[in-house]
Amino acid sequence: MELFRLTIAEALRLLLNKEISNQELLKAVFDRIKNIDSKINAYVTITEEEAFNRLNKVSKTSGIPIAIKDNLCTKGIKTTCSSKILGNFIPPYESTVTQKLINSEYIFTGKTNLDEFAMGSSTENSGFFPTKNPWDTSRVPGGSSGGSAAAVASGMCIAALGSDTGGSIRQPAAFCGVVGLKPTYGRVSRFGLIAFASSLDQIGPITKNVEDCAILMNILSGHDINDSTCANIDVPDYTANLKNGVKGLTIGIPKEYFIEGIDKETLDAVKKAINILSEMGAEVIPISLPHTEYSIAVYYILATSEASSNLARFDGVKYGLRIDGKNLLDMYLNTKAAGFGKEVKRRILLGTYSLSSGYYDAYYKKAQAVRTLIRKDFADAFKKVDVIITPTTPTPAFKIGEKVADPLKMYLNDIFTTPVNLAGIPAISIPCGFSKEGLPIGLQIIGRDFDEETLLRTSYTFEHATEHHKRIPSI
């Protein structure tokens, strides 16, 4: 048995029955990292010593190895956001989600690579190195949580955490053939997540199957006094209703998401998935989300505006890198020039522009108004349907280098994921097929506010009717 292939649920069962030890499990995962991470580059920091030290302090029936995206603060462990400006930053505190995992006796394998400050769709914007897709190492793993998704898909951890501002959990999950959930805004505390765009950011699980996703949601969800946007709403047991099927469920198919330009194999796989759910008793209804076409423009105005404000704090004084200069301004300029990569600078410039007087009304304020319309589209649709199904991405994983020269082309990749963040609602990506070249295809299921349960139940039903999640990359 290759222990690094286990899911959380399987590993917990084997630990409980004393069929494996948590030492063996952790060793199998670190051996796997040593064997293959030189080909994938999923990790920025590997914390083997800390992991085995911690393992001695947990019960023998726990100690699941989990990877953490490197924009989540981990006390005493370097947290870089894959940026040179935070290259030597060691947080003095623990983020809420990692603290919750520690409390549940999970063991951190390390910190995973991302597009610098989570800005990107391919992990090519990392300030250190790109991560590769385990299904085809000439392709991107998606982004920005590309390190986490690639690590899960290739067995370099049992599960991982990602963050999703405009698709960064779902899109890499789709490209790497794993499960990724972006919870409702406010479901999971953002305390200790290094902010990119605070009104859009959410943390969520990236896992090998749907059950593991539910297990992690039970741990991560819930109110936190350290995050004033975190909702004080009861957390259900997300594993309780997984097996209840989809009979009577209504699925909306938005016509705006099935348009020209989408890869044919992706469309076919998604349509097939919808048919399977319909055969299992769900009712399929065509719907319209009329403001979809504005999502990319609105997202890239609002996300960059918020980023320009959030990233002002990285000035050489408070954290990380400092490059001295003749005077204070010179020091700021030197530090930011050396510390931030090209995409981050582009976004700070764009955001500062949209927020400046004279342009604020035309761009930022307009984008906020359209955001409200996008949220209303979903609210109207959810009067008629329980979930909405779309492809996660217009194509499977693209080649490394294919889109780096054209930021607009890269941004268009987020067309199906950004509306969900703008609306603040939850969505999951699960594997629903493979292209002829053997690349995974993702199915996106979108739900009502705080109704992650229905997403998980629908996903679980589909997963158990198909074999896609069982396929693993040959690396």
Give the footprint of ligand GLN on this chain (CB under 6 A).
118-121, 144, 164-168, 196, 303, 414
Q: Which two tokens stand for residue 238?
A: 């997300």
Spot the catalytic one: 145, 168, 221, 308.
168
Q: How far is the CB of 343 from ligand GLN (least distance, A)?
A: 8
Spot the catalytic one: 69, 182, 208, 336.
69
Q: Which is nearer to ligand GLN, 7 or 202 (CB)?
A: 202
Q: How far is the CB of 179 from ligand GLN (least distance, A)?
A: 17
Q: Which long-range contacts (CB under 8 A, 24 or more apart) does 218-222 make?
A: 219/100, 219/101, 219/104, 219/106, 220/97, 220/100, 220/101, 220/161, 220/183, 220/188, 221/183, 221/187, 221/188, 221/452, 222/188, 222/189
Q: Which is nearer to ligand GLN, 105 or 402 (CB)?
A: 402
Q: How far is the CB of 139 from ligand GLN (least distance, A)?
A: 16
Distance of CA 395 to the CA centre of its chain: 18
Spot the catalytic one: 82, 126, 144, 435.
144
- φ/ψ region of 105 (left if φ > 0, alpha if ψ in -120 to 50, else beta) reads left
CA angle centred on 260, ends 255 and 263, rounded to 5°: 105
Q: How far is the CB of 377 from ligand GLN (least distance, A)?
A: 20
Q: Which is nearer to ligand GLN, 63 or 142 (CB)?
A: 142
Q: Which is nearer to ligand GLN, 65 or 167 (CB)?
A: 167
Residue 168 is a catalytic residue? yes
Cα separation, 317 vs 315, in Å, equals 5
Taking CB atoms, the residue at the shortest distance from ligand GLN is 168
Q: Which is nearer to ligand GLN, 167 or 320 (CB)?
A: 167
Q: How far is CA 199 from CA 180, 305, 310, 457, in A?
A: 20, 11, 11, 27
Task: Answer yes or no: are the C-beta atoms of 82 and 115 closer than 8 Å.
Answer: yes
Query: Residue 46's beta-bridge partner residues?
Result: 110
Residue 459 is a catalytic residue? no
Q: Which residue has the tokens 């705080």?
A: 450
Q: Which two tokens stand for residue 133?
A: 């897709």
Q: How far is the CB of 169 from ligand GLN (least distance, A)?
A: 7
Hey, which residues are catalytic here?
Answer: 69, 144, 168
